[in-house]
Chain A
Amino acid sequence: MGVTPIKLNFCIFFVNIIIIIKYKILLVCLIFQREGKRLLIDLIVVFPRSSISKSCCGRKSSMAEDSETKKVFDAEAAASLMKELRGTYASGKTRSYEWRVAQLKNLMKIVDDHEKDILDAIRADLSKPEQESYIAEISIIKSSCTRALGELNRWMKPEKVKTSITTFPSSAEIVSEPLGVVLIIGAWNFPLLLALDPAIGAIAAGNAVVLKPSELCPATSSLIAKLVGKYLDSSCIKVVEGAVAETSALLEQKWDKIFFTGSGRVGRIVMAAAAKHLTPVALELGGKCPVVVDSDINLPVAIRRIAGGKWASNNGQACIAPDYIVTTKDFAPKLIDALKHELEAWYGKDPLESKDLAHIVNSNHFARLAKLLDDDKVSGKIIHGGQRDKANLKFAPTILLDVPEDSLVMNEEIFGPLLPILTVDKLEDSFDMITSRGKPLAAYLFTNNKKLKEKFVKTVSAGGLVINDTVLHFAEKTLPFGGVGESGMGSYHGKFSYEAFSHRKSVLYRGFAGDASARYPPYSDRKLKLLKALLSGSVVGVILALIGWS
């Protein structure tokens, strides 16, 4: 068990984040790696009380006092949290440009200063490879922050708009203002990104924010709580950790916006709770994202991009991961061979041993995926992979060929390493297959056929479409990211994030110079004529009506 000094450092970092406080004793989880094997060691370390309150976020110090039982975040706590935030929001603090910039800069600092901590926390929760976490979480947060900082000035500027003769003489503008106090509920599959990326928009737009990271990633959740408490203005930006009970308590409050990432089932609950307070919601859900593959393509490139979007994105546990492939009967064998080859190159002969493959988040999800695979209609269709290791939550990349459309795996979002391949005679048939299902968050097409591309764009409805790649649109700040139909509503990223948390207020300025008496009672036929001219925007008509000619 040779623990080198460097690894020890790594362990001490964890002392700060996974903590259950009982009297003065901390229960510490140490996680480190040795020859690819994940070891989990529990240690009990005694710390002096003073260092606890320093190293933990504010909420924990109250927990230390309340030593016997862990303080639950109940309706009462939620109400007092809301009261506090309403107060600070009303003070106008969050509205200033300086405050927003300072918070965004500090957010940037979180990912800059704690890159390693973050990568480790995510590794601990999902055993996600560092590079994956870097590409899909840290780098995206960084670029979101950079963009927001660079453009905030422009985003905040009122937009001047033209006015017509109907309201002449006047000028108008659209002023964006913060919504107020907003709630962001993150998901576990990209535990840092899906909590902080929307928060960037909310902060940039000048709101007070409550963040609820996913409880299924405890290491990341508590790291977020700790770092946000330390780096950001804790009077306006709070993290509430917890599961169903805590979320329910939060949802009872009146928010000015709720931004939710997760499943359709919970999305419905969130929206119904929001309806009580007329709170607008953004729901970032998932769906079965199809990949249509034509035969005239550069196969090695396409395969890498498909496999990258599937298994190199948290082992398929991503809302925009390819869910199933549709290709022609003739091309399927070639495609499968290439996929197998690539998978072996990436993850070796025994993918369960690979460090480059994330594991399944927890045993519930593991059992769900096992059930999909053990379905009688499916179990005989496995043509690659299928290995799994329940104890370590490892699940190998698995390819299924021609599973029946009524099988379980084709009727719910897979959200894991299973990839069914369906075959059709003509590729165009796949479009009907896709549109007959709920609208997915993303749909992918690989082809060089221009006509097919255009038809795809016109007929397939999805949150976003990518042609000749997968997943990549997520990183494009100039594209709105969000679902439609079953895959949700509302979009974000780049300026769209800012808009998701802003109210666009119309402002109309009128002068006193000219006014049409026709607008006011008592009404007459002549006034009607003038009104007709005014509303039709005809200057000549107005003049004619005024001098009584028309």
Chain B
Amino acid sequence: MAEIENLEPDLEELRESYRSGKTKEASWRKSQLKGLLTLLKEQEKDIFKALEQDLGKHYAESYRDEVGTLTKSVNLALSSLKDWMSSRKAKLPIATFPSTAEVFPEPLGLVLIISSWNFPFGLSLEPVIGAIAAGNSVVLKPSELAPASSSLLAKTIPTYLDKKAVKVIEGGAAVGEHLLRCKWDKIFFTGNPRVGRVVMTAAANHLTPVTLELGGKCPAIFDSFSSSWDKEMVIKRVLGGKFGACAGQACIAIDYILVQEGFAPTLLELLRNMTKKMFGENPRETKSMARIINKKHFLRLKNILDDPSVQSCIVHGGGVDEDNLFIEPTILMNPPLKASIMTDEIFGPLLPIITLKKIEDSIEFINSRPKALAIYVFTKNETLKRRIISETSSGSVTFNDAIIQYAADTIPFGGVGESGFGRYHGKFSFDTFTHEKAILRRSLLTEFWFRFPPWNDFKLALTKSAYRFDYFEFLLVLLGLKKNS
């Protein structure tokens, strides 16, 4: 507790840094982003080590999903900063002539970023990039469930970044609660919907805007494919989007597959073969798949599998290794829809396949469940593509691939409904931590005197025509040729 009580001076220092105006300077923002870039470069090995320790992630996976993606994002922020920071001109109607208007991007102030354990660097620093680029002072609370990563962040960030304006506060639920009681100008939360509700309730006390990056069961609709080249590529992408993404412990990992009955045996065969190719005959020895984060989550997943009605559906894998917190890539065929594997977000290397009469039935299947963060559709059928886009709702839709939308900067990343709200990545990260201040500049030269009381019908008639942009009528009224209509 002693540690918790010490927070206030830290926060005051951060607020003071913001008030001083230095974080608003382009030069400060640039130097911080460059610092972050150096951190990623110089600490790459240590980051790999921490991720290996916390999650058993292979360094190639760590690079692909965390260091590499972050490097790309910082570079984008650095090269676009000037553009993002400049105000946008807005067009104006003649009613306010002569005047100009613009939207001026302004930082929000002191922001809190609460991140998650599954991508402890990616999900911490990706929003930090946006917050810094937008000129805020920042508190980052990494997840205590990935301790090596958390302490590496706490150790390195103060040495590479301005420690008076960017701080890492480590800790668990108690620290989190304490932080939530403070007044922030924005809270950016990545995690589960339960905590998301707690965060938003706390934010309501201070009218703090929040972004909630939650998860949900992301379905993958798998249409029939005939070409073997297509099949191989698509299967790789499915498996990469499930077991290859932190062993399925990712908010955008594929949760389950929907497939047409007739194609299911083919799909299963393909999945089995490719799983073996990717993770070897004995997956317990693979270094290419992450392990489960901790005992609690391991037991949660084991419980899901231990349900006899689910156990009987396992068609591949199913082995668990409690000592090493490892669960084999596991495929299940048609587990009961009422079992927890199909009602809760799986967040682990279990992949249920649900068969449908027609692939089009997947739309109804998806719509009868809470809105997902992502929907993946593997198909060449253009009609199906169009129907999915217009008839379902989700944070994003990706065709013929999985996970990769996370790396695309030009499209917003974020949820809808149960999968959260608010968005980030690329310019959207900047916008998330920015207030778009509307500015109207008027001159004192001219005035429509009819804007002001005392009122009469003549003024009303003028106003009406002015608001209708009917300048001819305006002139007529003005000259006394037309009466109020």
Footprint of B on A, CB under 8 Å? 90, 92, 95, 129-132, 134-135, 139, 142-143, 161-164, 166-167, 170, 172-175, 177, 179-180, 256, 264, 267-269, 271-272, 274-276, 278, 280, 283, 285, 297-298, 301-302, 304-305, 307-308, 311-312, 345-347, 354, 356-357, 435, 446, 448, 453, 457-459, 461-469, 472-473, 475-481, 484-486, 488-491, 503-512, 515, 517-524, 527-528, 531-532, 534-537
**A446-B441 Cα distance, complex, nearest whole Å:** 10
Contacts of B357 in A (CB 8 A): none
With A504-B423, A505-B393, A510-B404: A476-B453 Cβ-Cβ less than 8 Å: no
Indicate whether B244 reaches chain A with its CB closer than 8 angstroms.
yes
B26-34, B112-120, B162-170, B444-452: which lies at the interface: B444-452
**A254-B210 Cα distance, complex, nearest whole Å:** 18
Q: List 23 A-B residue pairs with CB atoms under 8 Å apart, sorted by A's residue number.
A: A129-B453, A166-B72, A166-B404, A167-B404, A267-B207, A271-B203, A274-B200, A278-B420, A280-B422, A301-B444, A304-B449, A308-B452, A346-B454, A463-B437, A468-B443, A472-B440, A484-B435, A506-B411, A506-B412, A508-B405, A508-B408, A531-B64, A532-B68
Contacts of B437 in A (CB 8 A): 461-465, 484
Contacts of A524 in B (CB 8 A): 60
Contact (Cβ within 8 A) A486 B233: no
Q: Select which of B185, B230, B447, B452 is within 8 A of A346 by beta carbon.
A: B452
**A139-B467 Cα distance, complex, nearest whole Å:** 6
With A129-B455, A475-B96: A519-B240 Cβ-Cβ less than 8 Å: yes
Indicate whether B335 reaches chain A with its CB closer than 8 angstroms.
no
**A278-B61 Cα distance, complex, nearest whole Å:** 32
**A537-B104 Cα distance, complex, nearest whole Å:** 31
Contact (Cβ within 8 A) A347 B453: yes
Contacts of A485 in B (CB 8 A): 108-109, 185, 207
- The 10 A-B residue pairs with the shortest CB-CB distance in the complex, in nearest-first order: A521-B288, A523-B60, A506-B411, A275-B200, A271-B204, A464-B438, A478-B90, A535-B68, A479-B438, A131-B455
Indicate whether B367 reaches chain A with its CB closer than 8 angstroms.
yes
Q: Mark B321-335, 1 if CB is under 8 A from A, else 0.
A: 000000000000000
Contact (Cβ within 8 A) B233 A528: no
Footprint of A on B, CB under 8 Å? 19, 21, 24, 58-61, 63-64, 68-69, 71-72, 75, 90-93, 95-96, 99, 101, 103-104, 106, 108-109, 185, 193, 196-197, 200-201, 203-205, 207, 209, 212, 214, 229-230, 233-234, 236-237, 239-240, 243-244, 278-280, 286-289, 367, 385, 389-391, 393-401, 404-405, 407-413, 416-418, 420-423, 435-445, 447, 449, 451-455, 459-460, 463-464, 467-468
Contact (Cβ within 8 A) B409 A164: yes
Q: Select which of A173, A312, A475 is within 8 A of B453 by beta carbon.
A: A312
Contact (Cβ within 8 A) A522 B279: yes
Closest to B423 in A: A504
User: Chain B's nearest CB lies how many Å from the CB of A93?
Assistant: 13
Contact (Cβ within 8 A) B444 A298: yes
**A283-B90 Cα distance, complex, nearest whole Å:** 23
With A256-B417, A271-B204, A465-B439: A510-B400 Cβ-Cβ less than 8 Å: yes
With A129-B453, A468-B443, A532-B63: A480-B436 Cβ-Cβ less than 8 Å: yes
Contact (Cβ within 8 A) A523 B442: no
Contact (Cβ within 8 A) A472 B442: yes
**A347-B455 Cα distance, complex, nearest whole Å:** 10
Contact (Cβ within 8 A) A536 B71: yes
Contacts of A459 in B (CB 8 A): 21
Contacts of B234 in A (CB 8 A): 512
**A468-B467 Cα distance, complex, nearest whole Å:** 21
Contacts of B278 in A (CB 8 A): 520-522
Closest to A254 in B: B417
Contact (Cβ within 8 A) A304 B207: no
User: Chain B's nearest CB lies how many Å from the CB of A311?
Assistant: 8
Contacts of A95 in B (CB 8 A): 390
Contact (Cβ within 8 A) B467 A472: no
Closest to B441 in A: A467
Contact (Cβ within 8 A) B58 A177: no
Contacts of A481 in B (CB 8 A): 438
**A521-B61 Cα distance, complex, nearest whole Å:** 8
With A308-B451, A312-B452, A531-B63: A264-B207 Cβ-Cβ less than 8 Å: yes
Contacts of B212 in A (CB 8 A): 278
Contact (Cβ within 8 A) B444 A531: no
Contact (Cβ within 8 A) A297 B64: no
Contacts of A480 in B (CB 8 A): 103, 436, 438
Contact (Cβ within 8 A) A503 B416: yes
Contact (Cβ within 8 A) A476 B440: yes
Contact (Cβ within 8 A) A476 B92: yes
